[in-house]
Structure 1
Protein backbone atom coordinates (compact mmCIF):
# COMPACT_ATOMS: atom_id res chain seq x y z
CA UNK A 1 0.00 0.00 0.00
CA UNK A 2 2.68 2.51 0.93
CA UNK A 3 2.22 6.05 2.15
CA UNK A 4 -0.86 8.15 1.85
CA UNK A 5 -0.70 11.91 1.67
CA UNK A 6 -3.90 13.83 2.13
CA UNK A 7 -4.94 17.42 2.48
CA UNK A 8 -8.24 19.14 3.10
CA UNK A 9 -7.34 21.86 0.63
CA UNK A 10 -8.38 21.64 -3.00
CA UNK A 11 -4.86 21.88 -4.34
CA UNK A 12 -1.31 21.24 -3.21
CA UNK A 13 0.41 24.60 -2.87
CA UNK A 14 3.51 25.90 -1.18
CA UNK A 15 2.69 26.66 2.43
CA UNK A 16 -0.13 24.15 2.73
CA UNK A 17 -0.04 21.59 5.53
CA UNK A 18 -0.43 17.96 4.50
CA UNK A 19 -0.72 14.78 6.51
CA UNK A 20 1.43 11.78 5.68
CA UNK A 21 0.43 8.36 7.00
CA UNK A 22 1.32 4.75 6.35
CA UNK A 23 -1.82 2.56 6.26
CA UNK A 24 0.32 -0.46 7.15
CA UNK A 25 1.89 1.09 10.23
CA UNK A 26 0.17 2.78 13.13
CA UNK A 27 3.32 4.54 14.31
CA UNK A 28 3.98 6.44 11.09
CA UNK A 29 1.90 9.59 11.04
CA UNK A 30 3.37 13.03 10.48
CA UNK A 31 2.44 16.47 9.28
CA UNK A 32 4.46 18.60 6.92
CA UNK A 33 4.28 21.97 5.24
CA UNK A 34 5.00 22.01 1.51
CA UNK A 35 8.04 24.21 0.94
CA UNK A 36 9.02 23.26 -2.59
CA UNK A 37 7.16 22.22 -5.73
CA UNK A 38 9.27 21.14 -8.64
CA UNK A 39 8.10 19.93 -12.03
CA UNK A 40 9.74 16.73 -13.22
CA UNK A 41 9.77 14.85 -16.48
CA UNK A 42 8.04 11.72 -15.21
CA UNK A 43 5.76 13.32 -12.62
CA UNK A 44 3.92 16.63 -12.62
CA UNK A 45 5.40 17.76 -9.33
CA UNK A 46 8.00 16.85 -6.78
CA UNK A 47 7.10 17.98 -3.29
CA UNK A 48 9.47 18.64 -0.43
CA UNK A 49 7.99 18.96 3.03
CA UNK A 50 9.56 20.68 6.02
CA UNK A 51 10.18 17.35 7.68
CA UNK A 52 12.10 16.21 4.60
CA UNK A 53 9.52 13.83 3.25
CA UNK A 54 9.68 13.72 -0.51
CA UNK A 55 6.83 12.68 -2.76
CA UNK A 56 5.19 13.20 -6.09
CA UNK A 57 1.59 13.74 -6.91
CA UNK A 58 -0.66 14.57 -9.82
CA UNK A 59 -1.95 18.12 -9.99
CA UNK A 60 -5.01 18.85 -7.85
CA UNK A 61 -5.13 15.41 -6.28
CA UNK A 62 -6.24 15.49 -2.66
CA UNK A 63 -4.42 12.31 -1.72
CA UNK A 64 -2.38 9.55 -3.24
CA UNK A 65 -1.02 6.17 -2.31
CA UNK A 66 2.67 5.73 -2.97
CA UNK A 67 4.98 2.78 -3.08
CA UNK A 68 6.67 1.61 0.08
CA UNK A 69 8.91 4.33 1.48
CA UNK A 70 12.67 3.95 1.33
CA UNK A 71 15.00 5.58 3.82
CA UNK A 72 17.60 7.73 2.08
CA UNK A 73 20.24 10.11 3.31
CA UNK A 74 20.94 13.65 2.33
CA UNK A 75 24.39 14.19 0.92
CA UNK A 76 26.97 16.93 1.06
CA UNK A 77 30.16 17.18 -0.96
CA UNK A 78 33.65 17.40 0.48
CA UNK A 79 33.37 21.20 0.71
CA UNK A 80 30.18 20.95 2.74
CA UNK A 81 27.78 21.98 -0.01
CA UNK A 82 24.56 19.97 -0.38
CA UNK A 83 24.23 17.71 -3.38
CA UNK A 84 20.85 17.74 -5.08
CA UNK A 85 19.95 14.09 -5.47
CA UNK A 86 18.30 13.01 -8.70
CA UNK A 87 16.11 10.13 -7.57
CA UNK A 88 16.13 8.64 -11.07
CA UNK A 89 19.91 8.21 -10.81
CA UNK A 90 20.16 7.30 -7.16
CA UNK A 91 20.26 3.69 -6.02
CA UNK A 92 19.48 2.82 -2.42
CA UNK A 93 21.63 0.22 -0.69
CA UNK A 94 20.65 -0.96 2.78
CA UNK A 95 23.56 -2.71 4.46
CA UNK A 96 21.27 -4.38 6.98
CA UNK A 97 22.92 -2.84 10.03
CA UNK A 98 21.02 0.42 9.97
CA UNK A 99 23.37 2.06 7.50
CA UNK A 100 22.03 3.22 4.17
CA UNK A 101 24.37 4.02 1.32
CA UNK A 102 23.71 5.86 -1.91
CA UNK A 103 25.35 5.12 -5.22
CA UNK A 104 27.11 8.28 -6.30
CA UNK A 105 25.40 10.92 -8.37
CA UNK A 106 28.87 12.34 -8.93
CA UNK A 107 30.79 9.83 -11.03
CA UNK A 108 33.10 7.55 -9.05
CA UNK A 109 32.74 9.65 -5.93
CA UNK A 110 31.24 7.50 -3.19
CA UNK A 111 33.23 9.43 -0.62
CA UNK A 112 31.44 12.70 -1.33
CA UNK A 113 28.40 11.46 0.54
CA UNK A 114 28.19 12.37 4.19
CA UNK A 115 25.40 11.13 6.39
CA UNK A 116 23.03 13.89 7.46
CA UNK A 117 19.34 13.68 8.24
CA UNK A 118 17.51 10.50 7.22
CA UNK A 119 14.69 11.23 4.83
CA UNK A 120 11.83 9.22 3.41
CA UNK A 121 11.49 9.08 -0.35
CA UNK A 122 8.57 7.67 -2.26
CA UNK A 123 6.80 8.15 -5.55
CA UNK A 124 3.35 7.49 -6.84
CA UNK A 125 2.37 4.93 -9.40
CA UNK A 126 1.04 6.48 -12.56
CA UNK A 127 -2.42 5.18 -13.38
Structure 2
Protein backbone atom coordinates (compact mmCIF):
# COMPACT_ATOMS: atom_id res chain seq x y z
CA UNK A 1 0.00 0.00 0.00
CA UNK A 2 1.11 3.49 -0.65
CA UNK A 3 0.84 6.10 2.03
CA UNK A 4 -0.46 9.50 1.21
CA UNK A 5 1.13 12.72 2.41
CA UNK A 6 -1.62 13.18 5.00
CA UNK A 7 -0.89 9.72 6.47
CA UNK A 8 2.81 10.52 6.73
CA UNK A 9 2.15 13.89 8.37
CA UNK A 10 -0.34 12.38 10.85
CA UNK A 11 2.13 9.63 11.74
CA UNK A 12 4.90 12.16 12.33
CA UNK A 13 2.58 14.38 14.40
CA UNK A 14 1.51 11.37 16.46
CA UNK A 15 5.10 10.32 17.11
CA UNK A 16 6.19 13.85 18.04
CA UNK A 17 3.25 14.37 20.39
CA UNK A 18 3.68 11.00 22.10
CA UNK A 19 7.42 11.48 22.57
CA UNK A 20 7.10 15.05 23.83
CA UNK A 21 4.29 14.02 26.18
CA UNK A 22 6.42 11.20 27.53
CA UNK A 23 9.31 13.60 28.04
CA UNK A 24 7.14 16.03 30.00
CA UNK A 25 5.64 13.27 32.15
CA UNK A 26 9.09 11.87 32.97
CA UNK A 27 10.49 15.33 33.72
CA UNK A 28 7.47 16.01 35.94
CA UNK A 29 8.05 12.86 37.96
CA UNK A 30 11.76 13.65 38.31
CA UNK A 31 10.86 17.17 39.43
CA UNK A 32 8.51 15.86 42.09
CA UNK A 33 11.28 13.65 43.43
CA UNK A 34 14.11 16.18 43.24
CA UNK A 35 12.65 19.58 44.15
CA UNK A 36 13.13 20.69 47.75
CA UNK A 37 9.79 22.04 48.96
CA UNK A 38 6.08 21.61 48.44
CA UNK A 39 5.64 24.65 46.20
CA UNK A 40 8.26 23.70 43.63
CA UNK A 41 7.04 20.11 43.68
CA UNK A 42 3.51 21.30 42.99
CA UNK A 43 4.82 23.40 40.13
CA UNK A 44 6.48 20.36 38.60
CA UNK A 45 3.49 18.13 39.23
CA UNK A 46 0.93 20.44 37.68
CA UNK A 47 2.62 22.28 34.82
CA UNK A 48 4.67 19.55 33.20
CA UNK A 49 2.21 16.73 33.78
CA UNK A 50 -0.67 18.78 32.36
CA UNK A 51 1.28 19.40 29.16
CA UNK A 52 2.55 15.81 29.04
CA UNK A 53 -0.80 14.11 29.54
CA UNK A 54 -2.50 16.48 27.09
CA UNK A 55 0.19 15.80 24.47
CA UNK A 56 -0.21 12.04 24.83
CA UNK A 57 -3.99 12.32 24.55
CA UNK A 58 -3.81 14.60 21.49
CA UNK A 59 -1.35 12.19 19.86
CA UNK A 60 -3.72 9.32 20.57
CA UNK A 61 -6.61 11.35 19.15
CA UNK A 62 -4.69 12.03 15.91
CA UNK A 63 -3.72 8.37 15.61
CA UNK A 64 -7.28 7.15 16.06
CA UNK A 65 -8.61 9.63 13.55
CA UNK A 66 -5.91 8.96 10.95
CA UNK A 67 -5.94 5.16 11.18
CA UNK A 68 -9.54 4.31 12.02
CA UNK A 69 -11.43 7.56 11.21
CA UNK A 70 -12.82 7.60 14.72
CA UNK A 71 -13.44 10.86 16.55
CA UNK A 72 -13.26 10.00 20.23
CA UNK A 73 -15.34 12.28 22.41
CA UNK A 74 -13.87 10.62 25.49
CA UNK A 75 -10.38 11.81 24.57
CA UNK A 76 -11.63 15.36 24.00
CA UNK A 77 -13.38 15.31 27.38
CA UNK A 78 -10.27 13.87 29.06
CA UNK A 79 -8.09 16.64 27.61
CA UNK A 80 -10.56 19.28 28.77
CA UNK A 81 -10.78 17.66 32.22
CA UNK A 82 -6.99 17.59 32.61
CA UNK A 83 -6.64 21.24 31.53
CA UNK A 84 -9.28 22.32 34.03
CA UNK A 85 -8.48 20.21 37.09
CA UNK A 86 -4.66 20.00 37.24
CA UNK A 87 -3.96 23.74 37.61
CA UNK A 88 -6.87 24.23 40.00
CA UNK A 89 -5.79 21.36 42.23
CA UNK A 90 -2.21 22.64 42.30
CA UNK A 91 -3.43 26.10 43.22
CA UNK A 92 -5.66 24.79 46.01
CA UNK A 93 -2.90 22.59 47.43
CA UNK A 94 -0.42 25.48 47.43
CA UNK A 95 -2.95 27.76 49.12
CA UNK A 96 -3.57 25.12 51.77
CA UNK A 97 0.17 24.71 52.34
CA UNK A 98 0.62 28.47 52.60
CA UNK A 99 -2.34 28.73 54.95
CA UNK A 100 -0.76 26.13 57.22
CA UNK A 101 2.36 28.25 57.45
CA UNK A 102 4.66 26.25 55.21
CA UNK A 103 7.29 28.55 53.76
CA UNK A 104 9.35 28.03 50.62
CA UNK A 105 12.91 26.94 51.31
CA UNK A 106 14.41 29.90 49.43
CA UNK A 107 12.51 32.86 50.79
CA UNK A 108 14.37 36.01 49.77
CA UNK A 109 11.51 38.38 49.09
CA UNK A 110 8.59 39.77 51.00
CA UNK A 111 5.44 37.66 51.09
CA UNK A 112 2.72 39.76 49.41
CA UNK A 113 -0.02 37.31 50.31
CA UNK A 114 0.86 37.50 53.99
CA UNK A 115 0.81 41.30 53.88
CA UNK A 116 -2.64 41.26 52.24
CA UNK A 117 -3.99 39.04 55.02
CA UNK A 118 -2.56 41.35 57.69
CA UNK A 119 -4.13 44.39 56.01
CA UNK A 120 -7.55 42.76 55.86
CA UNK A 121 -7.57 41.92 59.58
Bigger RCO (CA 8 Å, 6+ sep): 2
Answer 1 or 2: which has greater strand percent: 1
Shared fold (TM-score, shorter chain, > 0.5): no
TM-score between the two structures when normalised by the length of structure 1:
0.17
